[in-house]
Amino acid sequence: MPTFINPRDRFPTDDLCLYRDKLKENRNYPNLDKNKKTRICVIGAGFTGLLSAYYLKEYGFDVVVVERHRVGWGASGRNSGQVIPGYNQDIRVIARKYGEDIAKVSYQATVEALGEIRRLIEKHSIDCDFKPGLTITATNKKSNDDLGDHIEFLREKVGYKTDFIDANETAKDIGTTLYEGAMRDNFAGCFNPLKYITSIAAICAEMGVEIYEETPALILKKTASGKMEITTPKAIITADKVIAAGDAYQGRLLPNLRKKYVLLRTSMLATEVLSDDLYEQILPSNHAVFEWQNLTNYYTKTADKRLIFGGGDAPLTRNKSEEEKAFKSVYGEMIKLYPALQNIHITHWWGGYFSATLNELPQIGCIDNKIHYALGFCGHGVVPTHMSARLMAARIAEDKNLSQENPDFAKAFRTGNIPFAGKYDHHLVGLGMIWHKIKDML
């Protein structure tokens, strides 16, 4: 059993997130206590919100960001930091459903966004432990064949080149013989997401973006004069346009959008700092890794020499025992791969919510030419949030170079409502998990 070291109540939930615990530069932003007028109000200070603010400021807009909790409090400050192109949905499914042109253009937009993340890190010397290298591992013969086909598709139809490696090479890279083969992607990579997003917030603030923490947007409405009014606990913001960037944490601020997704929680663990021997033995390639199956495990080593590991079963309710079960399931998966870790302390554990849509693709759109939104990244959002932020900012700025994709994949990706979403998410997620488990076993 894991020997959890349990310093309680250090995070707004019972979680103890490694990144938050170790964050050195934890700049605070005030809460809003006076009414404000601005061109753009961004709701939510994660990747989607803050990158939108960054690009809008570059276009010369006044921007106010309001965040219910702290910068990076949502999934953006808790994820495993894998900076990967593409979407949660398989590119071949996208091609089948929406055509090869849409598949190609939409995938290339994420490759461009990945390059942009790397450029931003370099341009602003962002200290976020970025390291290049991602390996996607095949858990059985069937998934290995499928991964090979996927690699081929990416190379032939999208023009994105990665390497297919065999079981021996995979074992050398990952430090376990449990995989059949893998895809190695040297352009993708991994970072500490909280260091990254708090740095982006600081850069935005220096550029003149006003950021307010502990300032929830409670009501959003259009006034008779056509302006948007955002009511917060102590003040009202009047804006020309709004970017709704609250993703899974948005609640019912935009009730019609809430029908488009269900909430899913995924859980992560961090080991104590590993001895030099263990550090060499576990994941020798030092890549970020995720598994090529529906219910996936994902892991990497951190700059301070721990293993962070996520995945396992999703908790089906917010009940504590259900969350504990989920942590144990993640732990079990980690030990299956790396039995050498069984006597190692687990010092941190945390989870976070993401939103999942019917077609497993993000929804990027605009309501009434006033409220731009991007959500539904389905657990694969680090890069697509950046892409969406750039797209929304370009649309607001009417930047013809960027705002008119040809073909318009964001429009093609729009999907229907999920029956009972927002009411019975846990039941829907439970059914979805059973279905995915069966598919993984077939």
Ligand X SMILES: Cc1cc2nc3c(=O)[nH]c(=O)nc-3n(C[C@H](O)[C@H](O)[C@H](O)COP(=O)(O)OP(=O)(O)OC[C@H]3O[C@@H](n4cnc5c(N)ncnc54)[C@H](O)[C@@H]3O)c2cc1C
Q: Does 79 bind ligand X (CB under 6 A)?
A: yes
Cis peptide bond prior to 407, omega within 30° of 0:
yes
CB of 82 to ligand X, least distance (A): 3
* Residue 298 burial (CB count, 10 A): 22
Q: Does 137 bind ligand X (CB under 6 A)?
A: no
Q: Does 76 bind ligand X (CB under 6 A)?
A: yes
- For ligand X, which residue has the nearest CB? 381
Distances in Å between the Cα of 320 and the Cα atoms of 57, 279, 323, 326, 430 are: 42, 32, 5, 10, 17
Q: Which of residues 46-65 bind ligand X (CB under 6 A)?
A: 46-49
Q: In degrees rounded to 5, what are phi and psi of residue 358?
A: -65, -40
Distance CA 188, CA 83 (A): 6
Q: Does 287 bind ligand X (CB under 6 A)?
A: no
Find out whether 129 and 191 touch, Cβ atoms under 8 Å.
yes
Q: Which of residues 384-403 bind ligand X (CB under 6 A)?
A: 385
Q: Does 246 bind ligand X (CB under 6 A)?
A: yes
Q: Which of residues 191-220 bind ligand X (CB under 6 A)?
A: 216-217
- What residues contact 201, with CB distance under 8 A and at least 6 apart? 27, 29, 45, 50, 71, 72, 211
CB of 358 to ligand X, least distance (A): 17
Q: Which of 389, 412, 410, 391 is nearest to 400 (CA)?
A: 391
Q: Which of 263, 269, 250 is nearest to 316 (CA)?
A: 263
Closer of 81 and 133 to ligand X (Cβ): 81
CB of 387 to ligand X, least distance (A): 11
Q: x/- binding map, residues 342-381, to ligand X, per CB under 6 A?
A: ---------xxxx----------------------x-xxx
Distance CA 243, CA 373 (A): 6
How many residues bind to ligand X according to rule CB under 6 A? Answer: 45
CB of 277 to ligand X, least distance (A): 27
Closer of 151 and 289 to ligand X (Cβ): 289
Distance CA 187, CA 190 (A): 10
Distance CA 194, CA 190 (A): 12
Distances in Å between the Cα of 430 and the Cα atoms of 88, 265, 297, 334, 378 are: 19, 11, 18, 22, 15
Q: Does 245 bind ligand X (CB under 6 A)?
A: yes
Q: Which of residues 300-319 bind ligand X (CB under 6 A)?
A: 310
Closer of 217 and 418 to ligand X (Cβ): 217
Q: x/- binding map, residues 96-135, to ligand X, per CB under 6 A?
A: ----------------------------------------
Binding site residues, ligand X, CB under 6 A: 43-49, 66-69, 73-76, 78-82, 84, 216-217, 245-250, 253, 266, 268, 298, 310, 351-354, 377, 379-383, 385
